[in-house]
Amino acid sequence: MGDCIRKRPGAGRVDVQAARRGRSVPTMGTDATNPRQTSVFRRKPVEQIVEGVGEQGGGLSRHLGLWQLTAIGVGGIIGAGIFSLAGSVASGGEGGKGVGPAVVFSFLVAGIASAAAAFSYAEFAGMIPKAGSAYTYGYAVLGELVGWFIGWDLLLEYIAIVAVVAIGISGYFGFLLDQFGLDLPTWMLGAPGSGEGHRVDLFAALLCLLIAYLLNLGIKNAARVETLVVVIKVAVVLLVIVVGFFHIKTDNFTPFSPAGFGGVMTGAATVFFAVFGYDAMSTAAEESKDAQRHMPKAILYSLAISMVLYVLACLTLVGIQNYTKIDPESGFSSAFASIGLDGIGTIIAVGAIVGILTVMFTFMLGVTRVWFAMSRDGLLPQWFAKTHPTRHVPTRVTWLAGILSALIAGFMPIAEAAELTNIGILLAFVVVCIAVIRLRYTRPDLPRTFKTPGMPFVPAIGVIFSLWLVTFLQWETWLRFVAWFLIGLAVYFGYSRRHSLLHPR
C-alpha cells in the first residue's frame, strides 16, 4: 500500500462533486487512467479517507460525546444476553443439559474473544474516524471487493437483528398485556406460521418504524433518548444484582460446571452473540465530536461495562435458584418469583423490554451508516447518501431500513429471521482483525491514538475464535449467506464497480 501513498503534493484527494458530474477523478495518488484503478482490490489510502472526513461528510454533524457513544455501545451489547441467554445456557432449556453456574465462564470466554476483535476495532476507530466501520476498514486495507462484501453482508445482518429483537420485544409485550387481562386480536399477534390465526406481528413492525422515526429526529436528540433508556436498563440490572445478592445460596453453586470444559465452550459460542454491539456503534464515527480520541475509549468502555454486569448478573441468577430449575425464557423473573419477590420479577420484565429496545437503536444506527457510507463511495446509488438539510442524518436510508426491518419482523417467524443473522458479523470480525495486523506492519508510520496490544497475537485470537464460531452455524444459514453473496456479486459487477468513485472516468 505504501507505493500508493507516495504522491505529488495535492494528488490523491477525491473531488466528490467532480465525480458526481462524471468528470475524471484522480485517486489514490495516481493518474485516473492507471490500470491498477480497475482492479477489484483497489484501495483508498488512509490519509485520503481521513482528509475526506468533513469535506465529504455528506452533511453528518458531530454531536456525540464519549459517554453518549459508550451508552450506544452498551445499548447494543446488553439485551437478550442478560434477560434471555443467561438463563437458557445455564439451565440447558428443554434438554436440561446446561452449563450450570459455569455460565459465568462461558460469558468470560466469549468476552475475551470479543475483546480481541474490540481492540482491533478500537485501533481502526482512532485511525479512521469515518462512517462505515468494518466496511470502511476493509475497503482501506484489503481492497474494494472485500469492503463491498463486508458492507453488503452487514446490511442484511443488521436489518435482520433489528427485526429479530423487535419480534422478541413483541413477545414480552404480549405477556404483559395478558398480565393485565387485555386480549388483542389474534391476527395481529404474530407472523404467518408462528401461531394459529396469526397474520402479522403488528407491534414488532410498528416498533421498527418507531426506531426509524427516532433516528430521523437527528443524532443529537436520538442519542439523548438512547442514553436515558440505557441508564434505565443498567439501573434494572444493578437492581437485580443488589437485591439478588442477599438471596444467594452457596449450595446452588454445586456442581459448578456440570457440563465440563466442552459445555463451557459451547455456551461461549452461544452467548458470543450477546457480547458484540460496539461494532455497530463504531459506524457513528463521523458523528462523534472527537472520534479519534473518543471512539477507541467508547468501544472498550462499553464492552468492559457490559462484561462486568453480565458476570455479576449471572452469578446472582445461579446463586438464587438451582440451575436445573431456571426458566430458560424468563430466567431472572422466574428466579425472583421463586423466592417470593414477584414485584421484582415484573420490574425485570419491563426492564427487559426497555433494555432490548436499545439494541434495536444501535443496530439500526449501524445499518443506516454502513448503507450511507457505501452510497457515498459510489458502490450503491448516491441517492441514498442524501442527508436531511437541517437534521443532518441520512433520512432516506433510515426510512428504508425501518421499512425493510418492519416487513421482516411483521411477516417472518422469529426462528427464520434469526437465521439471517450472525455470519456476516463474524466475517466482519475476521476482516477487521486481519486488516489491523496487515496495516500495523505495512504502514507503521500512520498516527494511531490507540494500538491493539499483543500484536499480532490478540487480533489472531479474534480471527480464530470467529472462524471457529462459524462452524456452529446451521447449513440453512450458509445457504442464505451464499444466496445473498451471489446477489451481491451481481450488484457489484453490474453496478458498483463502474460507479465507484475510485473507478476511472
Could you give the 3-state DSSP secondary structure of residue 189?
strand
According to CATH, the topology of domain 62-499 is: Amino acid/polyamine transporter I (1.20.1740)
> What pLDDT was estimated at residue 133?
87
> What pLDDT was estimated at residue 418?
65
> What pLDDT was estimated at residue 179?
65
Three cell numbers, residue 146: 472485500
Cβ atoms of 446 and 439 within 8 Å: the answer is yes
- Looking at per-residue pLDDT, the higher value among 333 and 495 belongs to 495
Which range has the top average pLDDT, 112-121, 346-355, 418-427?
A: 112-121
Write down the mean pLDDT value for the chain: 82
Nearest to 71 by CA among 397, 315, 297, 274: 297
Non-local (6+) Cβ contacts of 169 within 8 A are: 203, 204, 207, 353, 356, 357, 360
Asked if pLDDT for residue 410 goes beyond 80, the answer is: yes
Three cell numbers, residue 254: 454445586
C-alpha gyration radius of the chain: 23
Nearest to 488 by CA among 427, 435, 411, 433: 427
> What pLDDT was estimated at residue 352?
74
Instruction: Tell me phi and psi for residue 256, to 5 degrees.
Output: -80, -40
Which whole number is the average pLDDT over 277-299?
88
Bridge partners, 64 (sequence order): 288
pTM: 0.81
Which whole number is the average pLDDT over 30-50?
64
N-terminal to C-terminal alpha carbon distance within the chain: 22
pLDDT classification of 31: cutoffs 50, 70, 90 = very low
pLDDT classification of 414: cutoffs 50, 70, 90 = low
What residue segments make up the domains of the chain, in order of their start? 62-499
Quickly count: other Cβ atoms within 10 Å of residue 444's Cβ: 8
